Structure 1
Amino acid sequence: MRIRQLCLPDSRPTTERLLPLRAIDPQLLLVFGSLAFFADDQALATLQAAFPDSLLLGCSTAGEISSHGVDDHSTVLTAIHFAHTRVQPAATPLHDMADSGAAGARLARQLAADDLQMVLVLGQGVAINGSALLQGISSVLGTGLPVVGGLAGDNAAFSRTYTLNEHGSSDRQLVAVGLYGKQLRLGHGSYGGWTTFGPARQVTRCQENVLYELDGAPALEVYKRYLGEYAADLPGSGLLFPFSMLGEHQQDAGVIRTILGVDEASGSLTLAGEVQTGCYLKLMHASTDNLVHGAEQAASAASLAQPVDGDSLALLVSCVGRKLVMGDRVDEEIEAVADELGSHTVLAGFYSNGEISPFAPGQPCRLHNQTMTITTLAEMAGPHD
């Protein structure tokens, strides 16, 4: 497995600048970039022409992650040449939020095979039910297969996001690749670093990922009361105060939910993933030090202990809410991950509107919010290498 990475601060690729990536003949090119890149038809055409035999997979972000740290308004291109692993694409339109589960099933059916080892999926970051998307995928592929990735970002505007494959970009399409072959090695880690505060509130009315009532009162009214002066900046300020989802007996379920939108008329909150009637929610807040420590824990859990053949990749998907809390110190969580994984691992990823990952290897995949999720990928040497 060979990896080459290029960071474009001006988001405009040229054929000459792409030569080092083309030199390794990649089967897969990951593209994480600014909204400006996805609006630039010439930039996309240049990529398609330079990599006619490669699968392209990417999305717009709320910040681009590379081995050099975190950038804004840039494009990070990561070319991957697999020695032993087969790569297959999948894509489907997302007609509306109610289509999320069916769209996940449509994606999964395109990828199903006996030697499928992992699915990397990227979805739009608004008007989507990330939990239902995963349920649709698992209805076809089962719950034991690792599904990783995230929901695209748009710098916390929650207005319009994009995904990309080799056919171009779209604001209404889900894209994925399946990785196949027994020599692929994976590691996973997902940690937050947030702290709950205030009383637990029971969900008394909800519909999938739309929260209508807490303790019998309009959810938006209750939420605004806690936010105080921050309420004027909703929905963006909701990234600073996510919900911790608790079980029926108020035990920690290990799942965080971010607010993606508000509806003044119905008094509701639209969340990135589903909640259940009868469960309890608590508000959360965080400090930079705690978030950095959470990223370090995620990297430790995802670390691959066994020796590998060639380069290894760490796919980092971290929540835009973490970036807003950390501000100018956001590079610290990426530095913590790099220190933990070592210089031999290439880092690539983005700040998202939702993260998709198992908590740890062997555990079911979930939609996370406000977490740092890390998936490490490498190949073992073949029998005749």
Structure 2
Amino acid sequence: MTATISTGYAAGIDVAATVARCREQLPGPADLILAFVGGKHDPEAALAALRASFGDIPLAGGSAAGAIAGGGTGVGTGGFGYSGLEIGIIAFSGPDVTPKILTNRDLLESEEAAGQALGRAVRAQAAPGSAVLILFDSVAASAPLRLHPASRIMAGFHAALDGLPLHVIGGGLLTDINLSDGWMFDGHAIAKHAMTALVFPPGLHAATAILHGCRPVSSFFEITRVEGAEVLELDGQPALTVIERTLGLELGTTSGQQLSLVATLGQKQGDPFAPFDENNYVNRLILQADPARGSITLFEPDFSIGTRVQIMSRDNALMLESVTQGIADLEAGLHGECAFGLYIDCAGRASVMTGAETEEADLVLRTLKPGFPFIGFYSGVEIAPFAGDYSRPLDWTGVLTVFQRTA
């Protein structure tokens, strides 16, 4: 049986017609479909449309703030968008390329315990060095907004691996850029508060580049008071006051959304006095601010008392430079046959959020120019290998992975 990987991409109000247009771009039947469905489409209607087009085969993926697809061999028309009407599909056929789907539906009870359960399942299925794609429902609750922290998921996941080396990438699924909701396919049905791991066959080797775009605009501050993801004090002062003063904003007038558009908190890895290198930073987006408490709430609760951080400016020019340089570095290391590419792109990098004149996803498509199937989606959180075999959640990044066939 010939192993094939192919992609389809389309956008439209009618979900059945949009899925059908994607199906027309694929060369034949599939053993597994990974689909990213714009959040304006009804999930049950999307599931019915996918079943009508592809039959009763395993389904992974779910809602996405938008989708991205590249041109090239085996790819449809290509394009990108985040209107909520886009659908991107990647189809796998043949045991040499088709991943196994493993599912956990317990995020609401405990993200760390769910991560451990999924990690144990992956450890039982994966060979050393295997590529694994983790997808999870980002939104735990919408009123008030609460996210499923990827840092807790990954802490549990890696604990359960017990040292098994894997190449793990992933992302959080959203219905839109405003973090309104999220849902996913768990292999067969629609699920909330769930996560899946796609374990790829050993014959597919993954290479990943992390595309950044923030630079420090402050010296180091020490977190002196924190409650979960809510940072209350930096150097003994209200965190919101410190950030607004550093950025030159008028105190008390800045909403969390405005702050999230211009700044992050960054933790520098390694030597704190080493020259600036964006690849040494783990940045955390600001989810909301509370002027009454003088606090900010981050996307992840993994900073603690004593953590040294810097205020980071989201830099559009650096973001685009990082795309160009990151792709060049990745391509320089590719030596085998490229099977397909996957791009997990923070929804906050869309120009509607950054104000950049150039769409970052468009630059990725124009710079990479793959002659292989390429698909991507706009995410809430990105997961990528950061140090050795440990993969951790990142904010305001693009995670670009190319899968190559090995002999």
**TM-score under structure 1 normalisation?**
0.85
Query: In structure 2, how many angstroms separate the alpha carbons of the residues matched to 1:379 and 1:249?
Result: 36
Map 1:83-232; keep pairs closer than 5 Å: 84-96=96-108, 99-112=110-123, 113-115=125-127, 117-126=130-139, 127-141=147-161, 142=163, 144-181=165-202, 183-226=203-246, 228=249, 232=254
Assess, with a 3 A threshold, how the Cα gap between structure 1 residues 305 and 24 changes in structure 2: closer, same or farther. Answer: same
User: Which residue number in structure 1 is paired with residue 74 of structure 2?
Assistant: none
The question of 1:275 aligning with 2:303 is answered yes
| Aligned partner of 1:242 among 261, 264, 268 | 264
Give the superposition deviation at 1:11. Answer: 5.7
Give the superposition deviation at 1:372. Answer: 1.4
Secondary structure, aligned partner of 1:7: strand
- Structure 1: stretches of 5+ with no match in the other structure: none
Deviation sequence 1:281-304 (CA, Å, 0-9, x none): 222223433211212233234336
Map 1:280-359; keep pairs closer than 5 Å: 280-303=308-331, 305-308=334-337, 312-324=339-351, 326-327=354-355, 329-331=357-359, 333-359=360-386
The question of 1:55 aligning with 2:63 is answered no
Give the superposition deviation at 1:94. Answer: 4.1
Assess, with a 3 A threshold, how the Cα gap between structure 1 residues 21 and 56 changes in structure 2: closer, same or farther. Answer: farther
User: Which residue number in structure 2 is paired with residue 26 of structure 1?
Assistant: 30
User: Which residue number in structure 2 is paired with residue 64 of structure 1?
Assistant: 67
Give the superposition deviation at 1:145. Answer: 0.9
The one-letter amino acid of 1:92's match is N
Secondary structure, aligned partner of 2:21: coil
User: Which residue number in structure 2 is paired with residue 45 of structure 1?
Assistant: 48
Assess, with a 3 A threshold, how the Cα gap between structure 1 residues 299 and 345 changes in structure 2: closer, same or farther. Answer: farther
Query: In structure 2, how many angstroms separate the alpha carbons of the residues matched to 1:193 and 1:16?
Result: 37
Assess, with a 3 A threshold, how the Cα gap between structure 1 residues 204 and 11 changes in structure 2: closer, same or farther. Answer: farther
**TM-score under structure 2 normalisation?**
0.81
Deviation sequence 1:322-361 (CA, Å, 0-9, x none): 2245446453x3344334433313321122221101148x
The one-letter amino acid of 2:174's match is G
Secondary structure, aligned partner of 2:190: strand
Secondary structure, aligned partner of 1:242: strand
Assess, with a 3 A threshold, how the Cα gap between structure 1 residues 110 and 143 changes in structure 2: closer, same or farther. Answer: closer
- Asked whether the equivalents of residues 192 and 294 of structure 1 are also in contact (C-alpha less than 8 Å), the reply is yes
Query: In structure 2, how many angstroms separate the alpha carbons of the residues matched to 1:92 and 1:264?
Result: 37
Give the superposition deviation at 1:131. Answer: 1.3
Give the superposition deviation at 1:371. Answer: 1.2
- Structure 2: stretches of 5+ with no match in the other structure: 71-77, 140-146
